[in-house]
Amino acid sequence: MLANLILIGFSLKFVCGNVADVVLSCSLVEEGVGLSGMTGGSSFSRAPATLVFRDVAVASDESLDLLPPFVAPSLLDPDAIIIEAKESCEEHFPLVPPPQSSSPEVPNVEVLLHADCNDLEVTCEMSQYSVSKALRRSDLTYFMVSISVEAVSFSVTLILQTLAVLEPSTLTQSKLGLPLSPTGTLPTEVVFLVFSQRNSISARLRSDAVLHCSFRHPEVPPEQEVAIGWRLQHKGKGWKVLHMETRLDEAEPRAVVHEERRGSSLNVTQVVDGDASVTLTKLKVRDEGSYICSVSLGPFKAQQIIQLHLLQPPQVSLSQQKLVLKAEPQTLSCHCSEYYPLDVQMEWWLLFPTDTEPTVSEDQGSLSSHRQHGDGSYSLTSQLTVPSTATPGTKIICKVSHRALSTPLSVSLVVMSPQTNSYWWIVGFLIVTAIFFYQVMN
Ligand SMILES: *[C@@H]1O[C@H](CO)[C@@H](O)[C@H](O)[C@H]1NC(C)=O
């Protein structure tokens, strides 16, 4: 019993002991009304805003001295926009089931917590979010917040719902017309979020890729429908990739899946757990682009954009394995094949027998035009004319640089003089003659 108590005490301290506030500078984006003027288009206005995630559980080895809690300015400012999103600590406590309305945990919050010290640029934009008429309540306001940390390819979109201010101050926020809490903030809770742990990935042609997209929500009735849509946008065109609808009913996940791109799939069991990642098999060049993952749950809908880049390193070879000088000039070809994207650099280098380091050849030969294969990859050939006057023993190097290669790839051969060639003929002739005489003598 005592041991139990100590254990509980320990895990309570471990999980709830360290909480910190994550403070982000954001902008509140509003569509301008009647400000469009001559242009006729809609204009957007931006106002600075602060987003505070309160009491986020952090690792027990975090030094809290370096993470002071957020303190709202002592003078209440009706022009300041400070949105507070609360994370309840109990939610992390494994022995207490989360209350029905617990708001979902914000993913990767450690990255946001240390973004400043690690010099990671965090982009944060918020706007008011309108839910469908049927579910609209006059006393609730929603915000949609998009946060991204480009350096680590992480992005998240949150939907925040205002909480009733229990003891409202006499002030209202001037821009939003919402009552401020006694500390001058707008308290909210996270009601839905969609995120991607890797919103930019590279993959090889013909390989398979998983595009990550997840969502989190408070406890919802299991009969709640979730709809997931994946679309591809590339160079001004759009395609449907996959669409699915299912109930968040773990016992018997039944789903309606429309697979528009052949070889695209979602795992229904994982969708029920909040993972909407799509797997694409046998990638082709036309799969490249921006994928939009949209998740709709009840009145909420949010999306993430995941970039897929295709990269295929070239295969490089020379037209022949050896080159023996002749009376007339000869052509040496360097083939660079099945690479993607198109940009490739081919260079001829020479290493003279008297040198230790190769130098760029003055003659860079001539390039064929790019050829495109059925899978979208490219091939290119460079032809170099080797004059009959070339110095025997010279090493000819074909060097290829491409985005899919970390270091340039080289293939080479050594120019041989015709003498070397006839010398081997003579040696061969002598050996054959010797064998012949040896056999005759015996
Ligand atoms: C779907 O996900 C579950 C849980 O992660 C796993 O056990 C199962 O093998 C997956 N199914 C497929 C078809 O990949």
- Is residue 307 lining ligand 1, measured as CB closer than 6 Å? no
- Is residue 290 lining ligand 1, measured as CB closer than 6 Å? no
146, 185: one domain? yes
Going by alpha carbons, the residue nearest to atom 14 of ligand 1 is: 267
Confidence class for position 91, pLDDT limits 50, 70, 90: very low
* pLDDT, position 13: 32
Mean pLDDT for the stretch of residues 197-221: 91
Phi, psi of 288 (to 5 degrees): -70, 145
222 CA distance to ligand 1 middle (Å): 20
212 CA distance to ligand 1 middle (Å): 15
74, 130: one domain? yes
Q: Is 184 helix (H, G, I), strand (E, B) or coil?
A: coil
54, 181: one domain? yes
245 CA distance to ligand 1 middle (Å): 18
Q: Which residues on neighbouring strands pair with residue 334, listed in sequence order?
A: 318, 382
To the nearest 10°, report the CA torsion of 418, 424, 426, 427.
Answer: 160
223, 167: one domain? no
Residue 430 domain flag: no
Domain boundary among 311, 335, 356: 311
Going by alpha carbons, the residue nearest to atom 6 of ligand 1 is: 269
269 CA distance to ligand 1 middle (Å): 6
19-23, 164-168, 409-413: range with highest mean pLDDT = 409-413
276 CA distance to ligand 1 middle (Å): 13
72 CA distance to ligand 1 middle (Å): 46
- Percent of the chain at pLDDT above 70? 85
Residue 1 domain flag: no
In this structure, how many other beta carbons lie within 10 angstroms of the beta carbon of residue 143? 23
* pLDDT, position 9: 29
Indicate if the pLDDT at residue 192 is higher than 80.
yes
306 CA distance to ligand 1 middle (Å): 22
Query: Is the separation of the CB atoms in 277 and 283 below 8 Å?
Result: no
Tokens of 373: 């294969």
Q: Which of 213, 360, 184 is nearest to 275 (CA)?
A: 213
Going by alpha carbons, the residue nearest to atom 5 of ligand 1 is: 270
For residue 270, the ligand 1 atom closest to its alpha carbon is 2
Q: Indicate the range of 48-57, 131-140, 172-181, 220-229 predicted with least confidence.
A: 131-140
Going by alpha carbons, the residue nearest to atom 3 of ligand 1 is: 269
Question: Which runs of E-coded beta strand occur in 298-429?
Answer: 300-310, 315-318, 323-324, 330-339, 344-351, 359-360, 366-367, 371-372, 378-386, 395-402, 409-416
In this structure, how many other beta carbons lie within 10 angstroms of the beta carbon of residue 277? 21
105 CA distance to ligand 1 middle (Å): 24
Mean pLDDT for the stretch of residues 165-169: 72
Residue 438 domain flag: no
- Is residue 269 lining ligand 1, measured as CB closer than 6 Å? yes
d(CA 387, CA 60): 72
- Is residue 317 lining ligand 1, measured as CB closer than 6 Å? no
Tell me the average pLDDT of the chain.
Answer: 83
* pLDDT, position 441: 81
266 CA distance to ligand 1 middle (Å): 10
Query: Is the separation of the CB atoms in 285 and 376 below 8 Å?
Result: yes
* pLDDT, position 144: 96
Q: Which of 270, 278, 279 to mutate to test the pocket of ligand 1 (most atoms within 8 A of CB)?
A: 270
Query: Is the separation of the CB atoms in 212 and 198 below 8 Å?
Result: yes
Residue 439 domain flag: no
138 against 150, higher pLDDT: 150
75, 215: one domain? no
Pairing mode, strands 237-247 and 225-234: antiparallel
291, 248: one domain? yes
Residues 6+ apart with CB under 8 A from 322: 413, 414, 416
Residue 339 domain flag: yes
User: What's the one-letter identity of residue 141?
Assistant: T
Domain boundary among 258, 277, 311: 311
- Is residue 273 lining ligand 1, measured as CB closer than 6 Å? no
352, 393: one domain? yes
User: What's the one-letter identity of residue 67?
Assistant: L
- Is residue 270 lining ligand 1, measured as CB closer than 6 Å? yes
294 against 436, higher pLDDT: 294
Query: Is the separation of the CB atoms in 49 and 27 below 8 Å?
Result: yes
119, 181: one domain? yes
Q: How many domains does the chain have?
A: 3
* pLDDT, position 77: 81
Q: Is 424 helix (H, G, I), strand (E, B) or coil?
A: helix
154 CA distance to ligand 1 middle (Å): 24
Q: Indicate the range of 128-137, 144-153, 233-242, 257-266 predicted with least confidence.
A: 128-137
- Is residue 268 lining ligand 1, measured as CB closer than 6 Å? no
Residues 6+ apart with CB under 8 A from 334: 316, 317, 318, 319, 346, 348, 381, 382, 383, 384, 398, 400, 411
Mean pLDDT for the stretch of residues 137-147: 88
Mean pLDDT for the stretch of residues 237-253: 83
CATH of the domain at 277: 2.60.40.10
Going by alpha carbons, the residue nearest to atom 11 of ligand 1 is: 267
* pLDDT, position 40: 52
Going by alpha carbons, the residue nearest to atom 10 of ligand 1 is: 267
298, 216: one domain? yes
pTM listed for this prediction: 0.79
Q: Which domain, by its residues, includes 338? A: 315-416
Q: Which of 269, 273, 277, 281 to mutate to test the pocket of ligand 1 (most atoms within 8 A of CB)?
A: 269
User: What's the one-letter identity of residue 232?
Assistant: L
Indicate if the pLDDT at residue 99 is higher than 60.
no
- Is residue 267 lining ligand 1, measured as CB closer than 6 Å? yes
267 CA distance to ligand 1 middle (Å): 6
Tokens of 426: 């003579």
151, 178: one domain? yes
Going by alpha carbons, the residue nearest to atom 7 of ligand 1 is: 269
In this structure, how many other beta carbons lie within 10 angstroms of the beta carbon of residue 214? 21
27, 164: one domain? yes
206 against 248, higher pLDDT: 206
Confidence class for position 397, pLDDT limits 50, 70, 90: very high
197 CA distance to ligand 1 middle (Å): 19
Tokens of 303: 């999306």
Q: What is the 3-state secondary structure (H, E, C) of 264-275?
A: EECCHHHHHCCE
Confidence class for position 420, pLDDT limits 50, 70, 90: low
CATH of the domain at 114: 2.60.40
